[in-house]
Amino acid sequence: MGEEQRRVDTVRRSASEIENNLIDAYADGRITRREFVRRGTVIGMSLPLLSFLAAACGGDDGAGTTAAAETGEVRRGGTLRTAIIGPSQTVDPLKVADEGGLAVLGQTGEYLTWSDEKLELQPRLAESWEPNDDGSVWTFRIRQGVTFHDGAALTAEDVATTLNTHADPDNGSPALSAFTGVLSKGAARAVDEATVEVRLEAPNGNFPYLVSSDNYNVIILPADHDYGSNYERSFNGTGPWKLDRFRQGNNVSYTKNPEYWDQERQPFADRSEIRFLDEEQARVLALQGGEVEVVSNFTATGGAGILTDPNVSVLEVKSVEHRQIHMRVDRPPFDDKNVRQALALTLDRQAIIEGLFEGKADLGNDHPFAPAFPSTDPDVPQREQDLDQARSLLAEAGSEDGLGAQLRTWDGVEIPDLAQLVQDFAQEVGIRIELNITDAGTYYGDAVFGKSPWLDSVLGITDYGHRGVPNVYLTAVYKSDGTWNAAHFKNPQADQLINEYMRALDIDSQRAAARQLQELLLDETPVIIPYFFTRLAATTGNVTGVEVTGMGHVDLTRAGFKA
Amino acid sequence: MGRFLLKRFALALVTLWLLSVIIFTAAQVLPGDVGRRVLGPFADQRAVDALNEELGTNRSLVVQYGDWVGGVVRGDLGDSYAFGRPVAEMLGPALENSAKLALVAFVIVVPVGILGGVLAALKEGRLRDRLISVSGLSATAIPEFVWAVVLIMLFAVWLGVLPVTAQAPEGANVFTELRYLLLPALCLVFVLFGYISRMARAGTIEALDADYTRTAFLKGLPRRTVIRRHVLRNSLLPTIAVVATQVGYLIGGLVVIELIFGYQGIGQLLFRAAEQKDFPLLESATLVIGAIYLAATLVADVLYSVLNPRIRYAEAT
């Protein structure tokens, strides 16, 4: 005990203020062990150090989260076959904007950091990282001795060039949606052979997430890499799998990379084949028919058959994927806060989750702070269905005789069903909703204000994909000048809190800002978020060790056939 | 005969040109701009602008149409927006796949359908007729995707004797490919059987009632000879026309079957192109399918005229 305490003291003396803050928070029981580890990795503390501190400082939540995916007894060798939704366009790191494309990129390419299935950051090509005092400059130590598949060695210059390429507006990388206002072209600089320093436009406490697998375009490539459709010929990268053959629209196959740097993550299987099956039914049937061992994505309703199949193991991955029901706060009838709250109060969220996802989703509380985010304050009361209160709020707004509105959305996944449920629930208090459901292209239009039903309609439902941190949701949806602010929500206090949240380096200040934001958004209700649903993946019973992330990455390095 | 063919051919060219105008305008009125559609609603506007610039989709429609049609005439179908590859390179294998599937389905359904129809007609109104007609009709009434799921569950998942997907591994021999194509082809057989057998049945019944058949019987020819020489020859005419018009559907209209079986045919290519607003691919693929439809109809007409002396002689004079 004494020895351990001495070691803790030594660590604390050399730790920065931010690090000590985090250790305090954990020792006092304000954050769970999982959050401590997660937050620690973000500010650049190493995993061995974190687990030592976690054990030494107690305060465990008992959830026992250190164990990685149970790999059991795995046989080496064999070919793993996976079915995914195929890439819908050229797999070019500068263009990919779909799940199929990112899943393929993630096999051969690697990121500075990996945002794993528990939203914890794992070091990959960055060995470690740390912020300066206010989080405006981040320094990454680049792993040495790593080679690309073409034999070239990874350098700090490669990393800096990759980051700058994606930050350059002229290249039009989808990564810009995370980098805008954070990272500008030329901001990443190789200080020496093994160090990259990144100067941000504004302090950002979550920057390591923005260069993780979450921002899936940013796989690290050689500085002289020529982006474009040529990438499909080589799939050059540093990853555990090397390209064998890519057949567009059909499949891609890999062999394990014998030169892979990480001894802990050498693939068990010899080969991996990923088949592109766009139709959910086709993926599910392929799994059941034994043509693939892994399906990276299926829905509770479409894949009901495999949810109960004893020969299939279902992987449930917490994701923060969600739908936003946004109401224009500058147009009647939703310019009255009471009306917005009334609509939110009509929803029986538990029933919605049961009906649409067989219960496999978290309740949403009308702000983007999903329960899965460590910075979310779980103590903000959950909004429940309350029809009486909804009626009295409507009366207060002078709409006791009811009101009407048109809801616009698009006809994909479970969205039309959700729209119908909202219509039914709203009906009970006299809010008459007329549905106008079109194809996605019509709904999103040009995706700029004035030319997009999504951004212009009084009431709409929009789908939001997974992110490891809520930064992009906050800046793009809730800030006054947000590019996806379909509710036209303009609130100086929210703007200020969002800036505060983004800047915050330690978990306490993040959570303090989050709490205030959660309460503010719950009260203002520019957007109703009924649920955050769980991502479902599946493997056949004879396979283990597959890791699927909320983002849609499929890590097959530790996957293999059971012995 | 030659003039007849020439006239039909010229007409087909005009139809194709009209088709090109229609699909071009129809495709362009799809909402949302191309760069936005390719990159998705959440991509940065600067990324969208950069892509539109690169693809030339910010130019005027007339210029874009001229560009496309000019290319098509020279045999250049353009490059796919989403995949950056020449459209011809993508259409080729897809067309080959579609043709393979259509061929397998055809080889099964045409003889079986005609045989069923003739057998039913010979026992008109009796139990055999009823059985064949009703089962044919029911099979046709069930949508192809239902057949697909039922057949996959039965033969691939439970019995495990046939593959779930239709795409044979690379380098597979003909027999393996056939094995992979059997289930999707069967779905099409079910959908088309009722159609073809009904035509064959109606034609046969008509021919059986015809004066020449009665004469043949009265001449004392054996039943088999009458049926083979007089009934079948006449009854199959309309059936052939029906079969030929199905070629277009079999090659270009199998979106659902191709998606469920994960088969890389032209239907799936077309569907994805429409979803992605991949205009060069969408327009050229539609044009190619249109050409196949026209060619199939042309062949049907020619066959019909070859088999039917009335048309043959009328045209010749």
Neighbours of B171 (CB within 10 A): 6
Collect all residues with Cβ–Cβ distance below 8 Å to A398 and sequence separation of at least 6: none
Please write the tens of the pLDDT for every residue from B89-109.
899 999 999 999 999 998 999
Please write the tens of the pLDDT for every residue from B58-86.
888 888 888 888 888 888 888 888 888 89
Inter-chain touch B262–A286, beta carbons under 8 Å: yes
Cα A50 to Cα A35: distance, rounded to the nearest angstrom: 11
pLDDT at B314: 58
Q: Are B179 and B163 in contact (CB under 8 A)?
A: yes
Mutate to test the interface with B, among A81, A84, A89, A481 (most CBs of B within 10 A): A89
Please tell me which residue, A422 or A402, carries the higher pLDDT value: A422
pLDDT at A108: 96
Q: Are A59 and A24 in contact (CB under 8 A)?
A: no
Please write the tens of the pLDDT for every residue from A367-399.
999 998 888 999 999 999 999 999 999 999 988
Average pLDDT of every residue of chain A: 89
Please tell me which residue, B209 or A408, carries the higher pLDDT value: A408
pLDDT for residue A500 is more than 60: yes
Confidence of residue B312 (pLDDT cuts 50, 70, 90): low
| A399-403: Cβ within 8 A, 24+ apart | A399/A333, A399/A336, A399/A339, A399/A430, A400/A430, A401/A430, A402/A429, A402/A430, A402/A431, A402/A432, A403/A333, A403/A339, A403/A430, A403/A431, A403/A432
Q: Which residues of A touch B48 (CB under 8 A)?
A: 172, 447
pLDDT for residue B111 is more than 80: yes
The gap from C-alpha B306 to its chain's centroid, in whole angstroms, comes to 23
Inter-chain touch A229–B83, beta carbons under 8 Å: yes
Q: Which residues of B touch A450 (CB under 8 A)?
A: none
Cα B149 to Cα A312: distance, rounded to the nearest angstrom: 19
Exposure class string for B284-316: b at 16+ Cβ within 10 A, else e: bbbbbbbbbbbebbbebbbebbeeeeebeeeee
Inter-chain touch B37–A289, beta carbons under 8 Å: no
Smallest Cβ distance to A88: which of B82, B260, B262? Answer: B82
pLDDT for residue A61 is more than 60: no
Mean pLDDT computed over A546-561: 93
Q: Which residues of B touch A483 (CB under 8 A)?
A: 44-45
pLDDT for residue A190 is more than 80: yes
The gap from C-alpha A36 to its chain's centroid, in whole angstroms, comes to 19
Q: Which residues of A touch B83 (CB under 8 A)?
A: 89-90, 229, 248
Cα A445 to Cα A89: distance, rounded to the nearest angstrom: 20
pLDDT for residue A59 is more than 70: no
Q: Are A237 and A215 in contact (CB under 8 A)?
A: no
Pairing of the two strands A527-528 and A459-464: unpaired
Structure tokens, B80:
């796919």
Look at residues A505, A434, A483 and name the one whose alpha carbon lies nearest to residue A177. A483
Cα A536 to Cα A550: distance, rounded to the nearest angstrom: 9
pLDDT for residue B210 is more than 90: no
Mean pLDDT computed over B153-172: 87
CA B190, B196, B197, B199 dihedral sign is: positive
Smallest Cβ distance to B82: which of A89, A173, A445? Answer: A89
Collect all residues with Cβ–Cβ distance below 8 Å to A180 and sequence separation of at least 6: B44
Helix (H, G, I), strand (E, B), or coil: what is residue B170?
A: coil
Structure-derived torsion over alpha carbons of residues A450, A454, A456, A460, reported in degrees to the nearest 10: 170
Mean pLDDT computed over A435-460: 90
pLDDT at A151: 93
Cα B80 to Cα B92: distance, rounded to the nearest angstrom: 13
Please write the tens of the pLDDT for every residue from A141-159.
999 999 999 999 999 999 9
Distances (CA, A) of A343 to A213, A227, A433: 37, 48, 11
Q: Which residues of B touch A484 (CB under 8 A)?
A: 42
pLDDT at B32: 66
| B244-247: Cβ within 8 A, 24+ apart | B244/B296, B244/B297, B244/B299, B244/B300, B244/B303, B245/B296, B245/B297, B245/B300, B246/B192, B246/B195, B246/B196, B247/B102, B247/B106, B247/B292, B247/B293, B247/B296
Number of helices (H) and strands (E), helices first, in chain A?
Answer: 20, 25
Q: Which residues of A touch B41 (CB under 8 A)?
A: 440, 444, 447, 454
Adjacent-strand bridge partners of A76: none
Collect all residues with Cβ–Cβ distance below 8 Å to B161 and sequence separation of at least 6: B155
Cα A551 to Cα A467: distance, rounded to the nearest angstrom: 7
Inter-chain touch A170–B50, beta carbons under 8 Å: yes
Inter-chain touch A250–B37, beta carbons under 8 Å: no
- Is A304's Cβ below 8 Å from some Cβ in B? no
The predicted model scores a pTM of 0.83
Adjacent-strand bridge partners of A438: A410
Shortest distance between the Cα of A367 and any Cα of chain B, in A, equals: 19
- Percent share of chain B, pLDDT over 70: 95
Structure tokens, A455:
């951004």
Which residue in chain B is spatially nearest to A445 when comparing CA positions? B32
Beta strands in A118-270 (DSSP E): 121-123, 126-131, 137-142, 188-192, 195-199, 241-247, 251-256
Please write the tens of the pLDDT for every residue from A240-284.
999 999 998 889 999 999 999 998 899 999 999 999 998 898 999
Mean pLDDT computed over A311-315: 93
Shortest distance between the Cα of A289 and any Cα of chain B, in A, equals: 4
Backbone angles phi and psi of A262, in degrees to 5:
-90, 105
Number of helices (H) and strands (E), helices first, in chain B?
Answer: 15, 0
Please write the tens of the pLDDT for every residue from A528-553.
999 999 999 999 999 999 999 989 99
Please tell me which residue, B229 or A462, carries the higher pLDDT value: A462
Inter-chain touch B46–A169, beta carbons under 8 Å: yes
Cα A228 to Cα A95: distance, rounded to the nearest angstrom: 8
Mutate to test the interface with A, among B164, B167, B277 (most CBs of A within 10 A): B164
Which residue in chain A is spatially nearest to B89 when comparing CA positions? A248
pLDDT for residue B180 is more than 80: yes
